[in-house]
Amino acid sequence: MVEEVLNLSRTSSPSVVGLAPQRLTEVKVGTEERLPMQNTEFARVLGGGVVPGSLVLIGGDPGIGKSTLLLQVSKEVAVSGPVLYVSGEESVAQIKSRALRVSNDGHPAENLYLATETDVDRVIGQIESVSPRLAIIDSIQTVQAGDIASTAGSISQVRECALRLQAVAKSSGVAIFLVGHVTKEGAIAGPRVLEHLVDTVLYLEGDPYHSYRLLRSVKNRYGATTEVGVFKMGSSGMVEVANPSEAFLAERRSDAPGSAIAVTMEGSRPLLVEVQGLTSPTSFGHPRRTANGVDTNRLLIITAVLTRRVGIQLSDQDIFVNVVGGLQVKEPAADLALAAAIASSARDRALPPDLALIGEIGLSGELRRVPQLEPRLREAVKLGFSSVVLPKRAEERADLPSELKLHEMAGLSEALEFALQS
């Protein structure tokens, strides 16, 4: 139960008319200017850069690197105009020492203003006095409106503060980023209530034990929603990963059984990932299925299909599956690679090192087609793969890369038979 506090002091009478309705044909469209920045991964996820007057929510688990990334972004935007960084979590000295750590030239940005303020109206006052191009509120859970009785971070506070900041963004043209901590359990409370209110929602995700971080856009009024940026958290902040597939495959032992290469799509960008499978005799009667980086239900389905349709005996085997690099692969197009990794470990036979696998698996053991085949195959060529197992295509397409040997298979058992024959 969440207490909703009515704010009776603000009365709005419906008779006060603002702007009269306009004809669509008469509406003027400004050229959608973007703030200049060098961080191309970040700009790409936003659909080309920060739009003035936009309100952007950046969510993620605590400690994942939101403050670090935004401090780097503020430095870049500060090259061309003032930026205000408001932190309710850290002291100015802490922010400065972090800024020095992540700055590649050892100089803090001239035009970067810091403030530690938690009252939303005073934050707005500071935005008005600095009049920055970009203001960052780190985090929305620490700011509060004094006239609302509930504590900072509660739903009424978070929503009210965001509404007030939105009004400032729209009227003054300053872009405002709101940082929101999202805990895995508390998905309902907190910043999720803001998703419909802001223009853009980005989530920064990644395994805290790995250095890769994915910045994903889940809502964007100024660009495609499926964009993903890949970063690596290093000792001097977040570094863009220009070629993520290469990074994720760097430590692969291609002669080991249980390793298969999937070609997944992260937004509009193809990504080659290594899926590892390990089967090992069960010692306590009940076989275990452990999935790391893939959905456990997906693993259970594929295990059942492998048992029933391919005839691989797995009922006395523990199965462990892992996606290298701490990635989460949700796409069904990785099914075939997952099945191949398990079968390869069960048969103790390595897959060909230059083979990638694409395809969704159906319950009757059929291979189903996946979208965006062409960019997937191009990425496989780029990384030096020479053959791909994929589902049978409906029509011949001439524009698929000719460097690849395409092995089209209708069913899982023939695909595995082919892949494991060597």
Binding site for Mg ion (CB under 5 A): 67
Q: CB under 5 to 8 A by kind: which of Mg ion, ligand TYD, none does 419 bind? A: none
Measured in whole angstroms, the distance separating CA 421 from the mean position of its chain's CA atoms is: 37
DSSP class of 301: H
Please check whether residue 367 is in contact with residue 359, taking contact to mean a CB–CB distance below 8 angstroms: yes
Q: Which CB atom, from 205 or from 335, has the smaller least distance to ligand TYD?
A: 205
Q: CB under 5 to 8 A by kind: which of Mg ion, ligand TYD, none does 60 bind? A: ligand TYD
Q: Which CB atom, from 67 or from 259, has the smaller least distance to Mg ion?
A: 67
**Minimum distance between the CB of residue 273 and ligand TYD, rounded to whole angstroms?**
23
Please check whether residue 60 is in contact with residue 66, taking contact to mean a CB–CB distance below 8 angstroms: yes
Give the integer Cα–Cα distance in Å for 263 and 280: 26
**Minimum distance between the CB of residue 60 and ligand TYD, rounded to whole angstroms?**
5
**Minimum distance between the CB of residue 239 and ligand TYD, rounded to whole angstroms?**
10
Q: Which CB atom, from 77 or from 95, has the smaller least distance to Mg ion?
A: 95
Instruction: Kindly give the residue spans of alpha helices, DSSP state H, lying in 47-195.
Output: 66-78, 92-102, 120-130, 155-172
Please choose, from the candidates 364, 369, 353, 354, the residue with its C-alpha nearest in 3D space to the C-alpha of residue 413: 364
Residues in CB range of 278: below 8 A, 6 or more apart:
258, 319, 320, 321, 322, 345
**Minimum distance between the CB of residue 114 and ligand TYD, rounded to whole angstroms?**
15
**Minimum distance between the CB of residue 238 and ligand TYD, rounded to whole angstroms?**
8
Measured in whole angstroms, the distance separating CA 290 from the mean position of its chain's CA atoms is: 23
List of E strands, 186-252: 200-205, 212-220, 228-234, 237-240
**Around 255, how many Cα atoms within 13 Å sit in the side-chain half-sphere?**
0
**Minimum distance between the CB of residue 71 and Mg ion, rounded to whole angstroms?**
9
Please choose, from the candidates 58, 339, 90, 77, the residue with its C-alpha nearest in 3D space to the C-alpha of residue 199: 58
Q: Is the dihedral of CA 38, 42, 43, 49 positive or negative?
A: negative
**Minimum distance between the CB of residue 68 and Mg ion, rounded to whole angstroms?**
8
Q: CB under 5 to 8 A by kind: which of Mg ion, ligand TYD, none does 216 bind? A: none
Burial 276-293 (b: 16+ CB within 10 A, else e): bbbbeeeeeeebebebbb
Q: Which CB atom, from 137 or from 343, has the smaller least distance to Mg ion?
A: 137
**Minimum distance between the CB of residue 65 and Mg ion, rounded to whole angstroms?**
8
Q: CB under 5 to 8 A by kind: which of ligand TYD, Mg ion, none does 237 bind? A: ligand TYD
Taking phi over 0 as left and psi of -120 to 50 as alpha, with beta for the rest, 52 belongs to beta
Please check whether residue 158 is in contact with residue 189, taking contact to mean a CB–CB distance below 8 angstroms: no
Q: CB under 5 to 8 A by kind: which of Mg ion, ligand TYD, none does 190 bind? A: none
Structure tokens at 143: 């700011």
Q: CB under 5 to 8 A by kind: which of ligand TYD, Mg ion, none does 175 bind? A: none
Q: Which residues bind ligand TYD (CB under 6 A)?
A: 60, 62-68, 98, 101-102, 233, 235-237
Q: CB under 5 to 8 A by kind: which of Mg ion, ligand TYD, none does 154 bind? A: none
Structure tokens at 251: 């430590």
Q: Which CB atom, from 86 or from 275, has the smaller least distance to Mg ion?
A: 86
Give the integer Cα–Cα distance in Å for 386 and 384: 6
Q: CB under 5 to 8 A by kind: which of Mg ion, ligand TYD, none does 64 bind? A: ligand TYD
Q: Which CB atom, from 65 or from 223, has the smaller least distance to Mg ion?
A: 65
**Minimum distance between the CB of residue 201 and ligand TYD, rounded to whole angstroms?**
16
Q: Which CB atom, from 105 or from 255, has the smaller least distance to ligand TYD?
A: 105
Q: Which CB atom, from 103 or from 254, has the smaller least distance to ligand TYD?
A: 103
Bridge partners, 323 (sequence order): 275
Q: Which CB atom, from 102 or from 120, has the smaller least distance to ligand TYD?
A: 102
Q: CB under 5 to 8 A by kind: which of ligand TYD, Mg ion, none does 101 bind? A: ligand TYD
